[in-house]
Amino acid sequence: MAMMYRIAFFAACGLFLCSPGWAQTKQCPAQRDFRSQDKIVGGRDAKVQNWPGQAVLRQNNHQGRILYFCGGTLVSPDTVLTAAHCVHDFERTAEGHYTLHGVAVEVLLNKEDLKQAPFNVRSIKEVVVHERYTSTDKGDDIALIRLADSQEEPAARLALSANADPTDSGTTPLMVAGFGTQQSGGGLNAYIADNGEPFQAGSDKLLETVVPLVSPKACSDAYPNAVIGAGQICAGFVAGGKDSCQGDSGGPLVAFDQSGCPYQVGVVSWGAGCARPNAFGVYTRVSAYADWIRGKVTKVAAVEDRDLAAAANPGNDLVAAVFSQLNDVLGNAKGKTDITISAGPKVRVGDLGVFHLTTRVAGRPIIIDINSKGEVTQLYPNQYTSAKRIDSGRTLTVPDSQAYRFPVKEPLGSSRLVAIIVPDNFDLNALEQAKGSKGFTVEAGLSYLQNLIQLLRNAQGAKGFGVEGDGGVSGWGLGDFAYDVVR
């Protein structure tokens, strides 16, 4: 395994806009777009107002050489949260300044364009590395940077309790941002700042991307020789393609509260390369270090439990988001597949569900169910039956054998079946990995859907295209059926 720090290589060796400050005021006027069709590996330009407290570390020899190498977040008026591996080699000079490999280090705050970097640069007063840190794969990859002066800058809210952590059954996306490289092993690029100063960075623009939550088991399986436990969060796509990368280390992994405002749940730590299949990003879990942070930082802002209350109709919101993305990806494939329930649009708890899928294109079917809580179940294929190829004009009835049944269960309310026809070469094995469980319970519903959409994009060239008519890419179909679960 080639373990890769998310620190930059040294040449020498919408949901919503949000700006919580020290009063923790929130302004979330416009929705974010979570489709993330493009990486930080797979990223797109970010707006710094969507990333309150965004920080980046840099070397500056004050002789025309500036190098950006790690990220961070301002979490109090005088403190930046970052990764231990970004700062553990810092040295303190006799004059009280900090250097890395003999070059002065500084912190840049709340910028989305490094070409504007001569402004808002801060000096460092103290570096605090977690006492147990030895290496990224052993955990405890967390540190604090005390700034020389207090700042009146927007700051990040932190997840300082387990209640605020993302869960497998959650419906909030995760996003990560940074100025790192845009390919695994990529080098730094040369730029010229607006004031004429040359600098090096992975990207001159702040980039962001959406990444799915990965279960601890799946992450441990991917990294059997590393510590993956209560102190880590893993995120990334089964098929790869989007990820944090070198130069993003120390930066924020965020979730979103019910108002759509971000709060930090993780610190970019490490991974095997960047954006590789089954090589997830590993992040330090902020809540696991809540006592440590509170013991060393005053005026730290935390997301409050009342902000984490579930939205009224997460299932409806999730269905809308999924269909927006499926339409982006499958284009004219919509309407080439129909799916219905024998009982009609109202089904009672305890009844057996029987589904009928008819297609106007030949291929292999995938059937998923999204209930009123946003929970997702892959009904077909499943552990009892493989994805049988279905010819154009034919109907598939599911269950297709006596080996399994679908008893209708709560929650009550609006649900939706989604049927997708994929061509024979579609990677259903990767979809099975994304499923994260056996049987008919999908624990990571949002993550499963994110992986499904990424696999669909990969199968068609990862362009975010639409299928071109009947004469274009064959074997694609999309259909859905809305129904209500009642007593």
Longest dimension (CA), the chain: 80
Q: What whole-number distance in Å separates Cα of residue 208 and Cα of residue 399? A: 41
How deeply is 443 buried, as exposed, middle or buried, from its count of CB atoms within 10 A (0-12, 13-18, 19+)? Answer: middle
Q: What is the DSSP string of 250-262?
A: T-EEEEE-TTS-E
* 3-state SS assignment for residue 86: helix
Active site residue 437: no
Q: What whole-number distance in Å separates Cα of residue 375 and Cα of residue 387? A: 22
Closest CA to 143 of 92, 82, 79: 82
Backbone angles phi, psi at 318, to 5 degrees: -65, -45
CA 186 to chain centre: 21
Q: How many CB atoms lie within 10 A of CB 161?
A: 15
Closest CA to 358 of 376, 335, 375: 335
Say which amino acid occupies 368.
Answer: I
- Torsion angle in degrees (nearest 10) through CA of 240, 241, 243, 246: 110
* H-state helical runs in 249-383: 290-296, 314-330
Q: Which of 19, 36, 85, 415 is catalytic?
A: 85
| Residue 22 to residues 53, 204, 287, Cα–Cα distance (Å) | 11, 28, 20
CA 454 to chain centre: 12
* 236 dihedral zone (left: phi>0; alpha: psi -120 to 50; beta): left
Q: What whole-number distance in Å separates Cα of residue 148 and Cα of residue 217? A: 42
Active site residue 85: yes
Q: How, if at all, do strands 103-109 and 198-201 pair?
A: unpaired
Residue with tokens 């590393």: 226
How deeply is 313 buried, as exposed, middle or buried, from its count of CB atoms within 10 A (0-12, 13-18, 19+)? Answer: middle
Name 485's Cβ contacts closer than 8 Å, sequence gap at least 6.
347, 348, 349, 371, 372, 408, 409, 410, 411, 412, 413, 415
Say which amino acid occupies 474.
Answer: S
Active site residue 220: no
Closest CA to 478 of 381, 371, 360, 395: 360
* 3-state SS assignment for residue 466: coil
Q: Which of 78, 140, 141, 165 is catalytic?
A: 141
Q: Which of 249, 287, 415, 447 is catalytic?
A: 249
For residues 85 and 142, is the Cβ–Cβ distance under 8 A?
no
Q: How many CB atoms lie within 10 A of CB 386?
A: 11
Which residue numbers are catalytic? 85, 141, 249
